Structures are given as C-alpha cells and as structure tokens.
Amino acid sequence: MAAPTIHRQNPEEIFELLRKVGEGSYGTVWEARNKKTGDICAVKK
C-alpha cells in the first residue's frame, strides 16, 4: 500500500496574514483570514 501524497502550499496563498500574535523558538504565530471562507485562524510561519 502506497503512502498518501502530501500537497504543500504556501500559507500566504490560502490565508491573509492580519497581525503578529506571538513569536518563539519555532516560528511566528499570525492571526489570519482564510481567503475563501473568511474564517479567522492562527497560522505558524
């Protein structure tokens, strides 16, 4: 059985970054809006 294919996209193609929420050792967390649905979420970049 083959492993499923993973498709990676640049988060900036999917989300509009609104503001920086925090920063740490593993990256920066942004409040973002999904461009298709308008949903607000957090994105680590």
The reply to whether 36 sits in an annotated binding site is no
What are residue 22's DSSP bridge partners?
Answer: 29
**What is the per-residue DSSP string for 2-34?**
PPPP-----HHHHEEEEEEEEEETTEEEEEEEE
The binding site consists of 45
The binding site for ATP consists of 45
